[in-house]
Chains A and B, each alone.
Chain A
Amino acid sequence: AQKVTQAQTEISVVEKEDVTLDCVYETRDTTYYLFWYKQPPSGELVFLIRRNSFDEQNEISGRYSWNFQKSTSSFNFTITASQVVDSAVYFCALSGNNAGNMLTFGGGTRLMVKP
């Protein structure tokens, strides 16, 4: 069975602070894929990134960066110089070749960025 844990249910920061959202996963698949989605107050789910289990290179996209560490089964997400528009619920998700390609989501982290 697959499991995704986002231990931080809520984080509050002041604008321009850096913030890291933690994600820990469990899977028996040898090949799997990790995702981050953003759910702003409007409610839709916005795809942010996919990471393959065989590629441990970290990725940076503007103010966003992702740190994938297979040894600790973690896929953490850092927002640098946070902005009020970053306020949202962020979900980490997992899919695997053997467990089916449906997404298993973590419980989400609500990020509040205050001006």
Chain B
Amino acid sequence: DSGVTQTPKHLITATGQRVTLRCSPRSGDLSVYWYQQSLDQGLQFLIQYYNGEERAKGNILERFSAQQFPDLHSELNLSSLELGDSALYFCASSGGDRAYNEQFFGPGTRLTVL
């Protein structure tokens, strides 16, 4: 158990809908990262927050947004969902925002868009 929690574990929804994925980092960790794992794109970095502020953006679509709250939990919002958004979404946390900080991953949320 990495100490990172993600809810829900599974999510099934329809095209055009909006969903929110939630992540609670390990106790004391200030950085939260979101990654998407799909069959065609592999594991891709989406976005990072550090202590409430956005730190880095990767291949995140404009239809996706995220935030980190004062209690350090983070939410990833996916809107106008398309079939291609079906994937496993991981949240990871680390103690700092440096390249050497190990990132510990949550169990993931499997999103299925029908």
Contact = CB atoms under 8 A, between A and B. Distances in A.
A62 interface: no
Contact of B104 (A47, A101, A106): A47
Interface residues of A, number: 27
A101 B108 CA distance: 20
A35 B56 CA distance: 19
Interface residues of B, number: 26
A38 to B, nearest CB: 11
B100 A33 contact: yes
Interface SS of chain A: strand
Interface string A44-57: 11110010100000
Interface string A8-45: 00000000000000000000000111010100001111
A35 B102 contact: yes
Interface of B: 2, 33, 35, 42-45, 48, 56, 58, 88, 90, 92, 97-108, 110
27 contacts: A31-B99, A42-B107, A43-B110, A44-B107, A44-B108, A45-B92, A45-B105, A46-B2, A47-B102, A47-B104, A50-B100, A50-B102, A95-B99, A96-B99, A97-B98, A97-B99, A100-B56, A101-B97, A101-B99, A101-B100, A102-B33, A102-B45, A102-B48, A103-B45, A105-B43, A107-B42, A108-B43
